[in-house]
Amino acid sequence: MSQTYQRIALIGLGLIASSIFWSLKRAGHTSHVTGYARSFATRDTARRTGLCDEIFDTAQEAVRDADLVILCVPVGVMGTVAAIIAPALKPGATVSDVGSVKRAVIDAVAPCLPDNVHFVPAHPLAGTEHSGPESGFAGLFDNRWCLLVPEVGTDAGAV
């Protein structure tokens, strides 16, 4: 069973996050997509280019009321970011990531999340040599795989 998310939050606004946004819009998904980036310059670029429906100045604001949160930050800070957003996560929300390694991400993120949130680690097998919010494009994931690595016991509806 696939779930439709009404509100999606992208934390980190580089190549992968911006491509997720443009892919959703190209496909006609009507989800409201919020975004956050640590850098003011990146947030400013995102606002200027129309990346995301709404850009917030804090990660907690961006995830508030989100049904799906995708962590698009470097693997080394995933746990820190998860701890920051955890108090603002909506009960029943799904949290995922786009990190290239999974065990380290699972070990860092899972302990930070509330019990009433679903964690579905992921790794999209796509990318380019470019980075930043202006490098994303709707076709990045066309004909590409995305590995989902849920832990045993993860709610099947979240996957």
Task: Name all domains of the chain by residue range, CATH numbers in brackets.
Answer: 7-158 (3.40.50.720)
Residue 1's pLDDT band, with cuts at 50, 70 and 90, is very low
Q: What is the mean pLDDT of the chain?
A: 95
Residue 60 confidence (pLDDT): 99
As a whole-number percent, the residues of the chain with pLDDT over 70 amount to 98
Cα–Cα dist 73/17, whole Å: 9
The rounded radius of gyration (Å) of the Cα atoms in the chain is: 14
pLDDT for 57 beyond 60: yes
Residue 102 confidence (pLDDT): 96
Would you call 130 exposed, middle or buried from its count of C-beta atoms within 10 A (0-12, 13-18, 19+)?
A: exposed
Residue 153 confidence (pLDDT): 87
What would the pLDDT profile of 15-53 be if each residue is shown by its tens digit? 999 999 999 999 988 789 999 999 999 999 999 999 999
Mean of pLDDT values over 126-134: 92
Residue 4's pLDDT band, with cuts at 50, 70 and 90, is confident
Which residues are within 8 A (CB) of 89 and not within 5 positions of it... i.e. 6 or more apart?
Answer: 63, 66, 69, 95, 113, 114, 117
Mean of pLDDT values over 88-98: 98
